[in-house]
Copies of this chain bind each other. A is one copy, B any other.
C-alpha cells in the first residue's frame, strides 16, 4: 500500500560535510519530511548525491534557482558555505519556501539584518537559523530545569566550543571566510546565552559591552585573517547578566563543548564531565575514557531533532523553536567580539544596540 501521510517536501542546498548530513537526516530520519531535491555546484558532491540520494528518488540540481522551482517543493535547508547562507535564504523566502538555514546567518551584521527584514515580510513562512545545541537532549533538559525556576534567575553563563586540533592547516584556510573564531565557534555559546538569559525574562537580553582577547598558540598564520586559535570573550548585558566564552582549535582529546548556567539559587552544567558513551578502560596506566572527535559525533542526534522540529513547525503551523531576531543578535555579539579581539578594545553598546564610544556611560 502507498503511504497516505502528508510529508513536507524538502530540498537541501549544499552537500558538503554538513549538507550531506542534513540530506541524510531529512531522507532517512525525519518521518514527516520527504527529501525531494538537492542542490550542489560541486562535482564531488554531485557524485556523492548520485550514489546516495538519487537512488532514493531525490532530484539533484546544479542550479539553485532551478531547484527552487522543483514542483511541490515547500522548504529548503540551506547548508552551503557561510558566505552564501543569507543570499540563498532570502531567495528561498522570496520564492515562498520555508527555510532552515545553517548558522550563522552571515558573518556580517547588516546582511543578517536583511534576512530578518525579508523574513518579517513573509510572516506565513517559517524561517529558522539552525543552532543545533538547542535540540540536544542535555541542553533541553537543562533548559527545562532553568524554566522550572530551580536555579533562580540565570545570571552568569559560561560556555565553550573547543575543537580537536587538526594539524592539516584546515583551520587557517577556513578562517578566511568563517568570520573568525567568535563568529564561527562561539556563536553557539552566544546563542545559548540569549536562550537561557531570556528563559525567565521573556525578552532578549540587550548587550552592554563586549571584550575579547586571544592567542595563536599553534597556528600563527591565523593572524593574517585577524583570527586566533584560542579566544576568550566576555559579554555584559544591560539586564545585569554576564556571559563569558572560550573557544579553541587545539583541544587534545576531541570536541569539548560545555556550558554552565549559573542562577541565583543554583547552577546547571552541560558536559562538565565529557565522555563518548558509558565505557571506561582500567589499565595499568590508569583509567581512560574517550570523548567525541568532532561536533557531529557530539551533536548528531541534535541535528536530527532540529530537522524534525523544523518539519513539525511547518506542518503544524507552529512557531519555530528559534526566533530569527535572536539569531541576528547572536551575529551582532559575535562580530563585536571579533572586532574587540582585533583592536584590543572593550566595546560598549546602548540599549538600542548602537555602539557608544564612551565606556564610562556604561560603567558599573
Contact = CB atoms under 8 A, between A and B. Distances in A.
A55 interface: yes
Interface stretch (A42-50, A56-64, A97-105, A194-202): A56-64
Contact of A57 (B1, B242, B266, B271): B1
Contacts of A211: 211, 234, 346
Interface in A11-29: 27-29
A83 interface: no
A230 B262 contact: yes
A150 B279 CA distance: 14
Interface stretch (A119-127, A313-321, A356-364): A356-364
Contacts of A228: 364
A279 B155 contact: no
A270 to B, nearest CB: 5
A99 B58 CA distance: 32
A248 interface: yes
A110 interface: no
A299 to B, nearest CB: 11
A241 interface: yes
Chain B CB count within 10 A is highest, among A234, A266, A268, for A266
A169 B211 CA distance: 32
Interface string A156-190: 10100000010000000000000000000000000
A282 B256 contact: yes
A282 B232 contact: no
25 contacts: A1-B54, A3-B56, A3-B57, A137-B277, A138-B277, A138-B279, A141-B277, A141-B290, A211-B234, A214-B364, A215-B240, A217-B264, A230-B242, A234-B244, A244-B246, A252-B267, A252-B282, A252-B283, A266-B282, A270-B279, A273-B278, A341-B364, A342-B363, A344-B359, A344-B360
Q: Closest 3 interchain pairs by CB?
A: A344-B363, A1-B57, A267-B282
Interface of A: 1-5, 27-29, 31, 54-59, 137-139, 141-142, 145, 150-151, 153, 155-156, 158, 165, 209, 211, 213-215, 217-218, 223, 228, 230, 232, 234, 236, 240-242, 244, 246, 248, 250-253, 256, 262, 264-291, 341-346, 359-360, 362-364
